[in-house]
Amino acid sequence: VTAPLLVRACRREPIERTPVWFMRQAGRSLPEYRALRERHGFFELAGTPDLCAEVTLQPVRRHGVDAAVLFADIMSPVLGMGIGVELAEGVGPVVEQRIESRADVERLAVTAPDEAILEAVRIVRRELDAEKALIGFCGGPFTVAGYLVEGRPSRDFTRTKALMYREPGTWHALLDRLTEQFVLYVRALVSAGADVIQLFDSWVGVLSFVDYAEFVAPYTARTLGAVHAPTIHFGTGVTKRLLDEMADAGGDAIGIDWRLLLEDVAEERAVQGNVDPAVLLAPWGRVEQSVRDVLEAGTGRSHIFNLGHGVLPETDPDVLTRLTAFVQESTTEARV
């Protein structure tokens, strides 16, 4: 049996066409998701195996994408560390008690992954076609630490940086502990059946590459290095120089947003991306043009088609379906 298309793309093996999936494909762009959300809270959905599996499979059924991405949040693994997290409507993750001191870090427990999430992985893997991949994911150390220190989404992560520069010992203790938890989590996801792990260090672009190398890269390398499956390493708003540091930290595939070019990722890695999600709000002709440009840039190398960041909630789901078929059909023809 051959491995799923996405797995082979990550390994840079020959593939019959370009795989396509979307970050945040499960969620608010889908009416069937919103209907479930009216009756259940976010962490209730994510923490009930049947419901989690259902939401994970919704976009696969509707769009025919080449991968399912496990329905969870980057804050899911920290719930088990004794931190109260709520997803506030229109805001994002809000933490009950911010991490401010070494004592706060010492109170964080490293615990076994939630069995409900692992059960959801098993259900999805059983129901998914063999050629489609199940992606499990984990937040990047900077991005998750940022939410814990700020207490809520932030534009500039000033509190986080202040802690990092003023109390480097506390910072390293915090990242060390998060990394211990993430390693247990991603390994358990793979053991339960996840084919690929993506690490979302979404907000890492606020750091200089020098600070990234000192304060973040060792922890990312430890997490990615612990995964016995292909990995995708993703960040947004990063410069070429920071991108190179991220790639050094790991990832079989590197995920980029629309500010960079696919060619900015060295050919020794697969590359994922990178249409601006806002383009999908335009008429189809404009969407198709952007998709063609990205496919053109990915020709001749291992490319995983995706947006440069998550699907916007206001996106018309029919555009995602059409886009999926377009990528799958046009890249098949190109190789015959």
Just list the catalytic residues.
24, 28, 37, 73, 147
83 touches ligand CP3 (CB under 6 A): no
137 touches ligand CP3 (CB under 6 A): yes
User: Among 292, 304, 285, which residue's Cα sits nearest to residue 333?
Assistant: 292
310 touches ligand CP3 (CB under 6 A): yes
Query: Least distance to ligand CP3 from the beta carbon of 80, Å?
Result: 17
Residues 183-222 that bind ligand CP3 (CB under 6 A): 200, 202
Binding marks (x or -) toward ligand CP3, 151..180, rule CB under 6 A? --x---------------------------
The nearer residue to ligand CP3, 41 or 82, going by C-beta atoms, is 41
CA-CA distance, 100 to 150, in Å (whole number)? 9
The nearer residue to ligand CP3, 65 or 183, going by C-beta atoms, is 65
51 touches ligand CP3 (CB under 6 A): no
The nearer residue to ligand CP3, 181 or 202, going by C-beta atoms, is 202
CA-CA distance, 174 to 127, in Å (whole number)? 38
Find how far residue 233's CA is from the centre of its chain. 8
User: Among 240, 242, 264, 265, which residue's Cα sits nearest to residue 252?
Assistant: 265
Find how far residue 311's CA is from the centre of its chain. 12
Q: Amino acid letter at 255?
A: G
User: Among 210, 37, 178, 189, which residue's Cα sits nearest to residue 124?
Assistant: 189
Residues 9-28 that bind ligand CP3 (CB under 6 A): 23-28
Both tokens assigned to 57: 């499979």
> How many chain residues bind ligand CP3 (CB under 6 A)?
21
CA-CA distance, 173 to 290, in Å (whole number)? 43
47 touches ligand CP3 (CB under 6 A): no
Partner residues linked to 272 by β-bridges: 255, 304
Name the residue with tokens 């020794």.
Answer: 268
Q: Which stretch, 86-94, 111-119, 220-228, 249-257, contacts ligand CP3 (CB under 6 A)?
A: 86-94
Query: Least distance to ligand CP3 from the beta carbon of 14, Å?
Result: 27
92 touches ligand CP3 (CB under 6 A): yes
CA-CA distance, 304 to 319, in Å (whole number)? 19
CA-CA distance, 309 to 306, in Å (whole number)? 8
Catalog residues that contact ligand CP3 under the rule CB under 6 A: 23-28, 37, 42, 69, 71, 73-74, 87, 92-93, 137, 143, 153, 200, 202, 310
